[in-house]
Structure 1
Amino acid sequence: MNAQVETPVEARAVTPRRHPFPTLLRREYWEHRGGFLWAPVIAGGVSLLLTMIFAVVASVMARKAVAEGELEIDGVTINGLDLSLITSQMSAHDLQQLGDAFDASLLMASSWPFIVMAFVVFFYCLGALYDDRKDRSVLFWKSLPVSDRDTVLSKVVSAALVAPLLATAAALATMVLFAVIVSVLVVMHGGNAFQLVWASGGPFRMAAFVVAAIPVYAVWALPTIGWLLLCSAWAKGKPFLWAIVVPVLLGVFVWWFEVMGYFGLQADWFWQNVVARMLLSVVPAGWMDAVNLHGIDAPGDLRDVLNLRTLYSTFLSPKMWIGAVAGALMIAIAVRLRRWREEI
């Protein structure tokens, strides 16, 4: 007689159930790694290549101007490209202006990955829920134990956080290499690279700013992300045209019939706060329209505008949160549409 021994409940091996959301994020990354990662990296590389070409051309032209006695600064003819001699005769105000000019050029050089990211995020959201219906792979994904909510939210997080994080990493690498290139040029012409490039803290300040801007971008971009996902989930064809035509026609209707006049507003308000928010919120620094510049005498000064206090003042703007709520509602509708729309 064989006796069966029951395993106590406490001794049974319990396999913890893993949440599928991290797997969904990895899936989005691997399927779109070219746009999320390599496109910003290549854009940063192109920016650095153009910087080196410009540096070589500018150096050759400056040497030619020196040789011909045509290089003047404040009416003084320069006989050589000795930066240490030139900077020693500059006032503290002039050196600060030189540092601001370097900060501006640093920001421009590192903006290329973000510009490319805006296009990547725009078209990624447009195809996020449309492409799998087009190739019928949606049937396979629906057969897995993954909810439509998690699937859509993984695409939202990929567009709002993953893509900006990777673009920021590419921008930071571009910043560092740009500063190194400028440092080499300064040393080659007898200047003090630490004083002119690094001592002002420009590279570190700009790096901290672009990292701190990620959560601001994530919230600000929600209206466009939500609208594009809604079009991607709803459209039976050509989601790009639907995404563009509907807001534009709505803006034309409001302008033509002067609808905003009933609220004491101009049609420009509708174009800026509705149409632009639906289509252009994924553009980096679009939130600058909502920053609190109160108390800033010269808003064009990078040191005044590009700081954490000004950056996070956008969270005090009603425009930020109204757009975020509208984006969340459109994302919720996109989830509902995905539950029953499986064909194009």
Structure 2
Amino acid sequence: MKAFTALVHREFIEHRGAFLTGPLIMLGILFGITILAFTVGRVDVHMSGALLTIVPLIIYEIGFFGLGFAWSLYLGVTLFFYCADGFSADKRNNSMLFWKSMPVTDFKVLLSKMTAALTILPGMVFAIALLSGVLLFGVAFVVMSINGTASVGALGAIVGIYGNVALTLFTALIVALLWYLPIMALVGAIAAAIGRWAIPIALLLPTLVSTLEWVTLGGLHPFATNTWDFLQYRLALPTTAYADNWFVNVEQADSIGFDIARFDGVAAASDLFANLDWTQIGIGIVFAVAVIYIASEYRRRVNDN
């Protein structure tokens, strides 16, 4: 167990630039731009009436969701390149013989990389997203202070919003990692065999498989096959009807009254888990373990490793 923990920690050390240092730098730049926007008058914080107390809360709610979505996009792209790069890193830095001399199987080495991709690496980006919400929290409270509406009640409302949005982002992160696990494992397995060329191959592989079905079984074109329909389904992130309806209500809200219920993170999380295709999740986990095992056997048997 200690050896496996050390392997996961190694992944953190080798890739903290992409998952920790880089996001922290971007967060500092983003916060500086936000402060500058208020200090030079690019953002008008002078409001009256219902806008005085409601708009800052709405802006904070939507803003935190926006930041969370932006960080999730960053995480998705970074994890894709991590799987294509990290699973082949041992070949490039000539450490393959060292790890083969250790009492650690190739399967355990590859499994540690996937474990890092599911836990500590996305956990760092999620922590940065939460820190983004804290910084936005401060900006929202300062805006309310400028408007003269800052109070204990307003502070409590912002804290409640932060908790609900954070819970939703955490739930979405867990669901996304489980949903895209087979794709991550497949990219990593390809990388273990052919190195960084896994990136273009992983991007072209779905089209090649769909084209093969079109050639062998027929159809209108390569993008009108059962394979392509399934890929579209598996690539689309599961959504929650509660969250979709809430955002629609925000868009259609009256510009004076803003009679909108606060976002309920528990309701959104429950709805997301209730409507998740758990059968596909289970199949995806089995598929991921299988391809990682096959990749480890290839890595163990190939002589030039």
Q: SS where residue 49 of structure 2 aligns?
A: helix
What does 1:222-237 align with in structure 2 at a 5 Å threshold?
A: 222-235=181-194
Q: Aligned-pair RMSD on alpha carbons?
A: 3.4
2: distance between equivalents of 1:36 and 1:29?
8
Equivalent residue number for residue 15 of structure 2:
32
Matched, 1:118 2:76: yes
Following superposition, the deviation at residue 309 of structure 1 comes to: 0.5
2: distance between equivalents of 1:236 and 1:105?
39
2: distance between equivalents of 1:299 and 1:108?
12
Equivalent residue number for residue 68 of structure 1:
none
2: distance between equivalents of 1:294 and 1:327?
30
2: distance between equivalents of 1:276 and 1:296?
18
Following superposition, the deviation at residue 217 of structure 1 comes to: 3.0
Give the TM-score normalised by the residue count of structure 2. 0.79
2: distance between equivalents of 1:337 and 1:260?
35
Following superposition, the deviation at residue 269 of structure 1 comes to: 5.9
Question: 2:4, 2:108 within 8 Å by CA — same for their partners in 1?
Answer: yes
Uncovered stretches (5+) of structure 1, i.e. residues with no partner:
1-17, 64-80, 281-285
2: distance between equivalents of 1:160 and 1:270?
26
Equivalent residue number for residue 333 of structure 1:
294
Equivalent residue number for residue 179 of structure 2:
220
Matched, 1:203 2:153: no
2: distance between equivalents of 1:213 and 1:234?
31
Over residues 74-132 of structure 1, what are the superposed CA-to-partner deviations in whole Å (9 max), with x where a residue is unaligned? Answer: xxxxxxx2x4x423888xxxx4x874443111111244433322222111111223232
Q: SS where residue 170 of structure 2 aligns?
A: helix
Question: 2:164, 2:264 within 8 Å by CA — same for their partners in 1?
Answer: no
Q: SS where residue 240 of structure 1 aligns?
A: helix
Equivalent residue number for residue 256 of structure 2:
none
Equivalent residue number for residue 28 of structure 2:
45
1: distance between equivalents of 2:126 and 2:300?
34
Q: What amino acid does structure 2 have at the position aligned with 1:270?
A: T
Uncovered stretches (5+) of structure 2, i.e. residues with no partner:
251-262
Matched, 1:243 2:202: yes
2: distance between equivalents of 1:28 and 1:195?
44
What does 1:256-267 align with in structure 2 at a 5 Å threshold?
A: 259=218, 267=224
Over residues 274-319 of structure 1, what are the superposed CA-to-partner deviations in whole Å (9 max), with x where a residue is unaligned? Answer: 2674xx6xxxxx5325x5x399866745837872202322544433
1: distance between equivalents of 2:37 and 2:275?
36
Matched, 1:133 2:96: no
What does 1:1-344 align with in structure 2 at a 5 Å threshold?
A: 19-56=2-39, 59-60=41-42, 62=44, 81=46, 83=47, 85-87=48-50, 95=54, 99-192=57-150, 194-195=152-153, 198-199=156-157, 201-235=160-194, 238-254=197-213, 259=218, 267=224, 270-271=227-228, 273-274=230-231, 277=234, 287-289=237-239, 291=240, 293=241, 300=248, 303=263, 307-341=268-302, 343=304
Larger RCO of the pair (alpha carbons < 8 Å, separation 6+): 2
Relative to structure 1, is the Cα distance of residues 276 and 297 closer, same or farther in structure 2, using a 3 angstrom cutoff? closer
Relative to structure 1, is the Cα distance of residues 53 and 321 closer, same or farther in structure 2, using a 3 angstrom cutoff? farther
Relative to structure 1, is the Cα distance of residues 135 and 182 closer, same or farther in structure 2, using a 3 angstrom cutoff? same
Following superposition, the deviation at residue 41 of structure 1 comes to: 2.2
- Larger of the two Rg values belongs to structure: 1
Structure with the larger helix share: 2
Give the TM-score normalised by the residue count of structure 1. 0.71
Q: What amino acid does structure 2 have at the position aligned with 1:40?
A: P
Relative to structure 1, is the Cα distance of residues 186 and 232 closer, same or farther in structure 2, using a 3 angstrom cutoff? same
2: distance between equivalents of 1:310 and 1:101?
24
Over residues 178-227 of structure 1, what are the superposed CA-to-partner deviations in whole Å (9 max), with x where a residue is unaligned? Answer: 11012112212323365556416211111222234443233122112111
